[in-house]
Amino acid sequence: MDFEVVPKDGDTAFFARSLVGVDGGYVQIEITKSGVVKSVSRVNQRISGTHEKYTHARLVNNNGKLDFIDLPYRARTYPRFEVMCEVYLHTSGKLWAVSGNHDLVFFKNDQTNHRLVCQVIDNSSPKSKRIAEKIGKGYALLGTKKYDLATNSFI
């Protein structure tokens, strides 16, 4: 199962919530670095706030020890405020969206298991250049849409 993960207790443990909802909520676990599960519960919302070491990771059993393996992309916590984005869709089903005023991009593709992921833009490249690059790679504008945290999608 894949999770949002942040370190806890001075990096001696992890606090994690499932990326996919289960029975109307998310699985939340606390696990030590040595692989001992401290707690498991079901909660109704995702991890919030900004966490420098926030990541998406897969929980695996590594020779009897539970461990998190980072997924192959950088992520940031999902915003809890309204974000309007220009949404672009590729013919292969990949999605990319860029915010107008919050310096965020969202994307989903094979690497993200087609789950929407949020990322901070570093501003080293103008928004217009990023859009032109995506159009050059076959993306087409779907429209301006609002990010919805409850469904982790655009409406």
In the block, which residue shows the tokens 């590594």? 62
Burial class (CB in 10 A: 0-12, 13-18, 19+), 110: exposed
The residue that leads in pLDDT, 117 or 20, is 117
Q: Using one digit for the tens of pLDDT, what is the confidence trace for 106-133?
A: 999 999 999 999 998 877 788 888 999 9
Q: Using one digit for the tens of pLDDT, what is the confidence trace for 61-84?
A: 988 889 899 999 989 888 888 899
pTM of the model: 0.83
Model pLDDT, residue 102: 64
User: What is the radius of gyration, based on Cα positions, of the chain?
Assistant: 17
Reported as a pLDDT band with limits 50, 70 and 90, residue 35 is confident
Res. 29: pLDDT tops 90:
yes
